[in-house]
Amino acid sequence: MQKVSENTSVSNSAEQPQFGSPAPERGPARTPRKAGGIGLWIRDLFVSAAASVLIITFLYQPVRVEGTSMLPRLEDRDRLFINKFVYHVYAIERGDVVVFHYPRDPEKSYIKRVIAVPGDRLWIDHGQVWLNGEPLHEGYVPEKYRDSRSMAELIVPPDFYFMMGDHRSISSDSREFGPVERSLIYGKAEFIYWPARDAGVVR
């Protein structure tokens, strides 16, 4: 807001009338309007809070990892943001790290990696995942976290996804509870924000 200095007001009111002419009318003195600093601050705070609520409700949600089945990338008690909107626009892809309601108890949430999508043919031979007739190369699974479990061939049903943890030797995943229905998947892991040493994009 532009401010008017007192000198201007004094200069205007100091003009002398000509002899015999009527004195100029003087209206009530105007006090410069002060900016409502506190009101603006409260308004900005309200807008920021509303925007945060909308972002958390419809776009991103902070979650905390519990357990070590996604080592080495995700550690126990890591805090990260999940994107709750992305799968309304884009398809779920192999390799995505997703959060979903546990099929056997929807009150619980699991975080795992998508290994196979609807229509994929999958089997596991002594820890080696085979996908559509080809061995799956999984650079996100270090050798020390692999196991020797096997699983018979299956074809992932429509609207279902096969999930596995990166720490194969301790993970409870689709090898036990089967493929996960699309309606149970509600977010994609995007970014670790705490602790600082782990901060970064989830891949």
Residues with Cβ within 8 Å of 72's Cβ and at least 6 positions away in sequence, in order, are: 142, 145, 166, 167
Q: What are the tens digits of pLDDT across the range 29-38?
A: 554 554 567 8
44 inside domain = no
- 3-class secondary structure, 184: helix
50 inside domain = no
Contact 110, 84 (CB under 8 A): no
- The domain that holds 168 is classified in CATH as 2.10.109.10
Contact 94, 116 (CB under 8 A): yes
Measured between its terminal Cα atoms, the distance across the chain in Å is 49
155 inside domain = yes
Q: Compute the distance between CA of residue 58 and CA of residue 74 in angstroms, rounded to an integer.
A: 24
26 inside domain = no
Q: For residue 168, which of 118, 128, 120 has the smallest C-alpha distance?
A: 128
Q: Return the active site residues.
A: 69, 112
4 inside domain = no
49 inside domain = no
Q: How many domains does the chain have?
A: 1
Whether the pLDDT of residue 183 is over 80: the answer is yes
12 inside domain = no
Q: What is the mean pLDDT of residues 58-75?
A: 93
Across the chain, what does the average pLDDT equal? 84
95 inside domain = yes
Q: What are the tens digits of pLDDT across the range 96-132?
A: 999 999 999 999 999 999 999 999 999 999 999 999 9
C-alpha 110: how far from its chain's center? 16
Domain range for 178: 63-201
